[in-house]
Structure 1
């Protein structure tokens, strides 16, 4: 990203110590950064006690979060930090109580509308383990519609234990959404590569991100029969996520496409996912293979490039469960994305707990197991 011939500042550190984060943040500010995108790996073990004082002392707007892993170029970091200093100020707002069943996000967003000036780009980061992410995104799109461009994803830990995971000028915060307005155009690509395998099934019972029943039967009974028959393995002697990472759900949309939902764990025959699964919707059990996922990553990149003719940076939100599924072939996905980009174009991103973008379905989606790439252009 550039403005008045001043380039972005990109500083990378593979050490875990929180002091390194603030040392690079101060260096970026000294070099002229007017706002900071801060990314950290969950392995760093950051807590409010470690970072709140340092975040509160930063004199420029801060946004970003803690993710399972970070991507820089074609590399992924399992520990460390990336500090991205921007040569312009950003506006950062928050919507709290992202798991509160009674929260009215539309009224919260209406109060924030004065700080957003379409057609800005909104970088939307959320606590990926909150239970009402889709409700927030529905309200966000209801407020701004397609006048804004959206890109983002879910922060948090692969332990699936909810904790403070978003950086702010007030400290480390959780169970909220962070909305950062950029005066820069972004071209978006969205692909996943999964295909419908079993179903459709009717969601006859759900509570936020937990599927209670399918076709009036306990959700896990349906899911177990399908997955065990195809995989030849049993949930009785295999951890749930070890099997479920290869068999996500797909919510049917009006365009006949599916939005992927990642099953995380099972309790009392109910299946909890990343992201909400509304009742009275149809879903499939999906299946995929490495080749189709890698092709999807390539197509995602090409789509994003076609949408933006003057790129200055690429911003990637790639689902961490794609990395878990692809295993030692995930490096091929990063190499595939990087190879399509213009030589020298910076690529910065995260392995996220869910991805956010407008897929052109007249709504703002929270995806799972999906690659979302934004090609950012100069102002």
Structure 2
């Protein structure tokens, strides 16, 4: 049995203040929301002391996160908040200790599945600076498999300082995953526009999200030689990300495509990335141009076309695409927004990594990628 729901309703504050967010929450409750999606920009500088009491007092489920920047109905906001009033009840769960090497996420995932409606869409948000995101996603997919659909991304700050960034009924949370089950289907589009430039390289040393050696040589030395030769620029004491944003890594997959990994900074000769890089794996250094990335955003939007009545457009677009495209990033947002059904809200986070099932084979943690989902307004019944 399918019950059609009205589209989600969006409330936006551009001040970035706590009072502005609280006003949005009040308006969404008055509107009659059954659950709330809340996204906020890191520049708001929200803290648990400021928000926890108000979040804990909410009478309905709330989920979401703090991202470097957010998308609010096609607006690109570096400061501000949005609250999306959803006409369906969300089931929000958390898996903690996302950097702890001793934790078995498989058991947590099994417990979660027992409480999750069959075939639900799982909005999967993580602390983007946690060290075991890939391990969590592997266990999550091992338990849930391809009968569920997935979309999400990494919350956090471009300061690369880990701090509370996931929004819940318990308050702001850190170093965890938030899995929100919505009993509606979703249509997904995924694309990035990067291509192989140098390599292949063999990862001869790596742990968690850190590469220590490529082809038995110190990782940063190998990476620096390629990037400096092509860019004509040199790495200094404070310009690593400015250069690295144009030269991500690509993890080779069996189908011949690549999953992008963003190098964040170097620690001596070690390279620290967003998301794990497994040892004994083939990687490439990638390169892209603005036009190839923008064309990828158009393909991403085209792949989400569906005849089902839409509820909301949900976008997780890597923050480093913003930094790479600079003034042209608004073209990427417009490519996606204009392809959606007229009047459909588009909301999202400019994220530290993106989450989706790229083809019913595994649950990936992407970097430098656009992941767009159109949630249907037809709620699945039992």
TM-score range, shorter chain: over 0.9
Q: Are positions 1:211 and 2:214 aligned together?
A: no
Query: What residue is the counterpart of 1:159 in the other structure?
Result: 159
Determine the C-alpha separation between the residues in 2 that align with 1:280 and 1:359. Answer: 23
Q: TM-score, normalised by structure 2?
A: 0.96
Partner of 1:85: 85
CA contact (8 A) 2:316 2:350 kept: yes
Partner of 2:366: 367
Structure 2, unaligned stretches of length 5 or more?
none
For residues 24-39 of structure 1, the aligned pairs below 5 Å read: 24-39=24-39
* CA positional deviation for 1:348: 1.0
The answer to whether 1:358 aligns with 2:353 is: no
Q: CA deviation at 1:50?
A: 0.6
CA-atom RMSD in angstroms: 1.4
TM-score of the aligned structures, taking structure 1 as reference length:
0.97
Alignment-derived partner of residue 199 in structure 2: 199
Aligned 8 A contact 1:255 1:361 in 2: no
**Structure 2 matches for 1:315-354, cutoff 5 A?**
315-354=314-353
- Residues 293-337 of structure 1 show CA distances to partners (whole Å, capped at 9, x for unaligned) of 00000000001115x543232110000000000011111111111
Within 1, Cα distance between the matches of 2:267 and 2:302? 40
Matches within 5 A, 1:146-295: 146-236=146-236, 239-295=239-295
Partners of 1:53 and 1:67 lie apart in 2 by 21
Structure 2 Cα separation of the partners of residues 297 and 286 of structure 1: 18
Kindly tell me the number of residue pairs found equivalent between the two proteins.
377
Structure 2 residue matching 1:201: 3-state secondary structure: strand
- Per-residue CA shift, 1:340-377, capped at 9, x if unaligned? 22222221111111000000161100000000000111
CA contact (8 A) 2:262 2:273 kept: yes
Deviation at 1:119? Answer: 0.6
Match of 1:96 in 2: 96
CA distance in 2, matches of 1:245, 1:92: 33
Rounded to whole Å, the distance in 1 between the matches of 2:80 and 2:25 is 13
In the alignment, which residue of structure 2 is the partner of 1:310?
309
Kept after mapping to 2: 8 A contact 1:3/1:88 = no
In 2: Cα distance, 1:243 partner to 1:40 partner: 28
Query: Structure 1 stretches of 5 or more lacking a match?
Result: none
Contact 2:91–2:181 (Cα < 8 Å) also in 1: yes
